Amino acid sequence: MKAKRTVRAARLRRHERVRERVVGTPQRPRLCVFRSLKHIYAQIIDDQAGRTLVAASDLEAGVRLRADGKKAAKPKKDASQAEKPPAAQGKAKKDVAGRVGSLLAQRAKEKGIEMVVFDRGGYRFHGRVKALAEAAREAGLRF
């Protein structure tokens, strides 16, 4: 009997195919993205040394702040939340992904890293992954 193929297994297969060609070196490390349902993580890795050089995620203090500087409120499970359209909920995640990308690029510049190889981790290049990549480019990383 064949094993059931899951979405996660398919993403890992795509990631392995990409990783055969995308390798981080000390001169041009790899910017790797991981996206879960709630959070997004990014790190810059030197694969030859096996070390993470820079990392950023939306779990860090200050990343999930609103535009006015206050902490983002946790979503409440009540009737008013059900009325909100899904597009409005997804926009906040893209904004947070952009902040993670700019924070990662800022930390990379401090360490002297200017060029990276982008590893999308088997995810499609749209939505949060694209927002993170564009924010990193705007902040000065080249890839």
What are the backbone angles phi and psi of residue 37, rounded to the nearest 5°?
Answer: -65, -35
Number of domains the chain is built from: 1
**What CATH number does residue 90 fall under?**
3.30.420.100
Is 143 domain-assigned? Answer: no
Q: Residues 116, 107: contact at Cβ < 8 Å?
A: no
Residue 91's identity, in one-letter code, is: K
Beta strands of the chain (E only): which ranges?
A: 30-35, 40-46, 51-57, 117-119
pTM over 0.85: no
Is 5 domain-assigned? Answer: no
Is 89 domain-assigned? Answer: yes
Is 54 domain-assigned? Answer: yes
Is 56 domain-assigned? Answer: yes
Is 37 domain-assigned? Answer: yes
Q: Residue 90 sits in which domain range? A: 12-66+85-138
33 CB burial (10 A radius; 0-12, 13-18, 19+): buried
Encode the chain (143 residues) as per-residue pLDDT tens digits.
566 789 999 999 999 999 999 999 999 999 999 999 999 999 999 999 999 999 999 998 777 755 545 555 555 665 555 554 444 444 689 999 999 999 999 999 999 999 999 999 999 999 999 999 999 999 999 99
